[in-house]
Amino acid sequence: MTKEIERKFLIDRKKAFTFVNSKKATKLEIEQFYISLEPEFRFRRTISDSETTYVKAEKSQPALERIEIETESSMTEYENLIIASSLVINKRRYVIDGMEFDFYPDGLAIMEKEYSSIKEAKEDHLNFDFIQKEVTGDKYYSNAQIALRNSKRA
């Protein structure tokens, strides 16, 4: 069990993509699905250039600081369970300088940055032209709620 201290921002997709492409970012393709929203229990498949990983996680509600329990999963477990879930999201993630940029198929773009302490998070004054507003703790922008909205559109 670990504490995750993270700030989340709604970002301008075009400006953020330009920023990410100007750096040497790591690109990941992510698909994740939810078994439960409260508590949040999800499975994730992450595909990089060199490997595919499977992880299951349970998280507390969205906030600057939240509890996260993450363990390895397997391709078999992932594939057996995803067929029972309608709460699925896909996103392309770019990782650079401790920041994660998530680009969703519907046009939404979110940046997350993790910190080692709440003090560090509160003192970090991010000044990028692609940041539109901070959405830390806003459930509307949580991946679980994005998956729920996507399931209602299907």
What is the pTM for the complete model shown? 0.91
The CATH number that applies at residue 72 is 2.40.320.10
Strand boundaries in the chain, DSSP class E: 2-11, 26-37, 40-47, 52-59, 65-72, 88-96, 99-103, 109-115, 131-134
Q: How many domains are there within the chain?
A: 1
pLDDT of residue 66: 78
pLDDT of residue 121: 92
pLDDT of residue 154: 54
Range of the domain at 60: 2-153
Residues of the chain whose pLDDT is less than 50? none
Residue among 38, 50, 53 nearest 145 (CA): 38
pLDDT of residue 153: 65
d(CA 117, CA 99): 16
